[in-house]
Chains A and B, each alone.
Chain A
Amino acid sequence: MSASITTERRVALSRRRAPSAQSWLRSDRRVGIALLLPAFAAFAVFVFYPLGKVFWLSTQGTDIFGQAAGFVGAKNYITIFTDPQFIATMLRTGAFCLAVVAGRIVLGLFITIPLTTKLRGVPVFRALLTSPMVVSVSAASVAFAAMLAQGNGLVNSVITRFGGSAIPFFTSTQWAFGSVIVVTVWGSIGFTVLLMLGAFGAIDNDVIEAAHLDGAGPLRTLWSISLPLVTPTLFFIVVTGAVEALTTFGQIQILTGGGPANSTTTLVYNIYQSAFGAGSANFGLAAALGVVLFVLVLALSLVQFGVLEKRVNY
């Protein structure tokens, strides 16, 4: 794959080396620009303008209707960074992100690897194990809330039937965070497995056979041949999974409402609470938090591409 990139670059460079004063007027360029305009207009209206507005709003005070009420400079940012809760929220968001991504990769591999074998009934399991993908986050959360409820939930009924004491899955600070992580991983595991199945399926069988002929056992083949060959997909899952985890909202809203005692409040949930939570309408503060999130997602993506991508085999 790296060969094709260099070819692409070489072509791009050669084009740059042959500039023409009127080149932008050439008819194919004009057609190109015309074709790009609709997409660009949509981006301008739905992305660039709101983005600019968020930056602007983050420097504004807000009245009780959420209307901008004058320039306040960095006040919203100062409020954020001097709030002791904010550091805790950031650390929690980071931990949540790590746990969800790690959970998806590890559990995903554990599920996918057996599914790549040619045993009887594997297609059925493939279908079953990728099925969480079609369940919406809200529906899944409501179902989990009902199953794991302390008073009347199925899981706790079973636990107490066998003499255990009921577990406060969503109502204790020790359990709630982990419970939300489990629900999140469950919700995304279907898609993860689907991606991994595609990646493992695309491995050239000759390579595997060659490894076998050289005397590599199944574990050795997996570790030294299969896993390195699926790293582009794993990398894709890490990048998109991290961004997805950072922006998790539905599960938290339905399962815990950010509680108990803020133990499941992540950055995005904090933004929602500031802007819309119980009619607080503090859009200035929410916008400032949004900018923090934007910078964070951007930084995370850059770091992932700078560091992680070096370990990816294309």
Chain B
Amino acid sequence: MSFRHRTLVAATAAGTALLFALSGCAAAGSDADSATASGPVTLTFWHAMTGPAATELDTLVSKFNAQEAGKITVDASFQGAYADLQTKYTAAVQSGSTPDVLMMNDIATGFMVDSKKTTPLSTFTDKDSSFDADSFPPVVSSYYAAASGGLAAMPFSVSQPVLYLNRSLVTQAGLNPDTPPTTVAEVADWAEKIHAASGAYGMTMNMSDSWMLEEMSASGGENFCTPENGRGSDKVTGLDLTSPTQVAFMSTLQKLFSDGTALNPGTDNSAMVSAFASDKVGMMMTSSGAYTTADPNKTASTVAAFPKTSESKDAGVVIGGNALWISGDGHSEAQQKAAYEFLTYLHSADVQAEWASATGYLASNTAAGDTTVGKQSLADPNVASMAGQLANTPASQAAAGCRTGAFPTVRATVIGAFNQIVEGADVTSTMKDAESKAADQIAAYNTAAG
């Protein structure tokens, strides 16, 4: 074989190897224990927590295992970030080895419901007289509501977007951080003053996906998806991105980004938070969960409610975070019951207070604030401000947020369009294009979901 032929074969082999890499996504195995009804039950639990949250989750699991010794053992394992977790879960569905309990992030809710591989939480809570359906903040129950009534999954980690103010930069601009801006228009005004006074960026916000635009739609009482944010009887078929409220706030943001007042962090959310923490940005709109990294000493910032974009009574912000799902198909009744036990433990007021205090998530049990740990956390006015926003968010369709399994895909489409807008593209026509592309993507998803 000549050099030429050998290299040709090698090049072909390289191509085939690449294709192999793309197709060879083998199913991740998990041994779903088939426990007998009489013996102790072992539960597999897949999660996506890292850092302090992972440590705390392991502590909670150990406590539960000690409490249920001889009856239930939870075997928790980290499966990667949410996207990886979802990929592994789909592989597990294919190979019939799903975990007993699965943690899944907020926007995967539509996918989880469509998958029909889990048993709705309401199946268990309906039979449990000790379960208090009112122990959740209203917007939390509406986010995870099951079509049949009750909850589809157990809300576990809850977060909301908030507005962080850098006290020193705000003060330097002659503004009072104790009377924070309440609308996006005011935020823009403040941002320009901060930028003019200090040269620092006036504001920043997450730009890695369309999350902030979804929140600003909700904070104007506008649905992001049609029909009815997927909360009615019909599936979502499209996005609504061009209402007057939406065009108005996008135009405001367009100006801030294009004149250099706002910092565009791109896909790097941690760089955004560190820029805020090091006095490079006056205001930041991001998750309540960023508090501990944005302001490690809890004194340099003021946390205010997420700004509104209209005076609508439906205005409120959508929750984020994750929920816990109980696998149905292929899991025994004993396993599902044990899984429900585990979930009610994680929802208890004490555990939620501890979880919130250790991780920066907001407690999903309204009674958590009355526990000792909960009271300690709420002594920080910034934490109290976040908890207050959560409690006061109306359970409106807008604040419940959009539910579609195509959400992750359309998010990329919308942020792509918004990136063109911040560079000067026309708001309405660009978002019209995004609406039409998203409608195609949603239609493709709906076909796949059957």
Contact = CB atoms under 8 A, between A and B. Distances in A.
B94 interface: yes
Nearest to A5: B2
A260 B20 contact: no
Contacts of A278: 83, 408-409, 411-412
Interface string B249-274: 00000000000100111111001101
A176 to B, nearest CB: 8
A8 B450 CA distance: 60
A260 B266 contact: yes
Interface stretch (B33-41, B302-310, B414-422): B414-422
Contact of B271 (A8, A48, A152, A261): A152
A277 interface: yes
A145 B267 CA distance: 10
A305 interface: yes
A69 B265 CA distance: 40
Contacts of B208: 257
A279 B22 CA distance: 15
Contact of B275 (A46, A64, A151, A294): A151
Nearest to A254: B267
A184 to B, nearest CB: 17
A99 B135 CA distance: 59
B363 interface: no
B196 interface: no
Nearest to A61: B448
B184 interface: no
A171 B265 contact: yes
B64 interface: no
B18 A46 contact: no
Interface string A83-99: 00000000000000000
Contact of B264 (A61, A168, A283): A168
A151 B20 contact: no
Contact of B409 (A9, A243, A280): A280
Contacts of A276: 25, 83, 87
B322 to A, nearest CB: 14
A251 to B, nearest CB: 12
Contact of B94 (A66, A275, A280): A66
B248 interface: no
A281 B90 contact: yes
Interface stretch (B9-17, B51-59, B144-152, B354-362): B9-17
Contacts of B264: 150, 168, 171-172
Interface string B407-450: 01101100111011001000000000000000000001101111
Contacts of A115: none
B87 A305 contact: no
A100 interface: no
A54 B24 CA distance: 9
Interface string A46-73: 1110110110010001111111010000
- Chain B binding site: helix, strand, loop or mixed by DSSP? helix
Contacts of A48: 16
A287 interface: yes
Interface stretch (B108-116, B122-130, B171-179, B185-193): B108-116
Given A64-B405, A65-B115, A172-B423, A50 B445 contact: no
A151 B266 contact: no
A305 to B, nearest CB: 6
Nearest to A273: B412
A48 B13 CA distance: 10
A261 B419 contact: yes
A48 B266 CA distance: 40
Given A8-B2, A279-B108, A281-B87, A152 B274 contact: yes
Contacts of A281: 87, 90
B282 to A, nearest CB: 12
Given A171-B264, A276-B83, A281-B90, A262 B416 contact: yes
A275 B412 contact: no
A171 B201 CA distance: 15
B249 to A, nearest CB: 19
A282 interface: yes
A260 B14 contact: no
Contacts of B450: 63
B408 A151 contact: no
A129 interface: no
B8 interface: yes
Contacts of B114: 64
A260 B419 contact: yes
B49 interface: no
Given A259-B267, A271-B22, A279-B108, A298 B11 contact: yes
Contacts of A5: 2-3
Interface in B92-113: 93-94, 108, 111
Nearest to A263: B419
Given A259-B419, A279-B87, A294 B16 contact: yes
B7 interface: yes
A239 interface: yes
Contact of B19 (A145, A153, A294): A294
B94 A151 contact: no
Contacts of A277: 83, 408-409, 412
A149 interface: yes
A290 B266 contact: no
Pick from B11, B12, B91, B278 the residue with the most CB of A within 10 Å.
B11
Contacts of A151: 201, 204, 263, 265, 271-272, 274-275, 280-281
Nearest to A255: B267
Contacts of A294: 15-16, 18-19
A48 B15 CA distance: 11
Pick from A47, A53, A152 the residue with the most CB of B within 10 Å.
A152
27 contacts: A5-B2, A9-B2, A47-B13, A50-B24, A54-B23, A62-B448, A64-B114, A64-B445, A149-B275, A151-B263, A151-B271, A151-B275, A152-B271, A152-B278, A170-B266, A173-B419, A239-B11, A243-B14, A256-B266, A257-B208, A257-B267, A260-B419, A261-B417, A278-B412, A279-B408, A301-B8, A302-B8
Interface of A: 1, 5, 8-9, 46-48, 50-51, 53-54, 57, 61-67, 69, 145-146, 149-153, 165-166, 168, 170-173, 239, 243, 247, 255-262, 271, 273, 275-283, 286-287, 290-291, 293-294, 297-298, 301-302, 305, 309, 314
Kindly list the 8 A-B residue pairs having the minimum CB-CB distance in the complex, ordered from nearest.
Answer: A151-B275, A278-B408, A260-B419, A279-B86, A301-B11, A50-B20, A171-B266, A261-B419
Interface of B: 2-4, 7-8, 11-20, 22-25, 83, 86-87, 90-91, 93-94, 108, 111, 114-115, 201, 204, 207-208, 260, 263-268, 271-272, 274-275, 278, 280-281, 405, 408-409, 411-412, 415-417, 419-420, 423, 444-445, 447-450
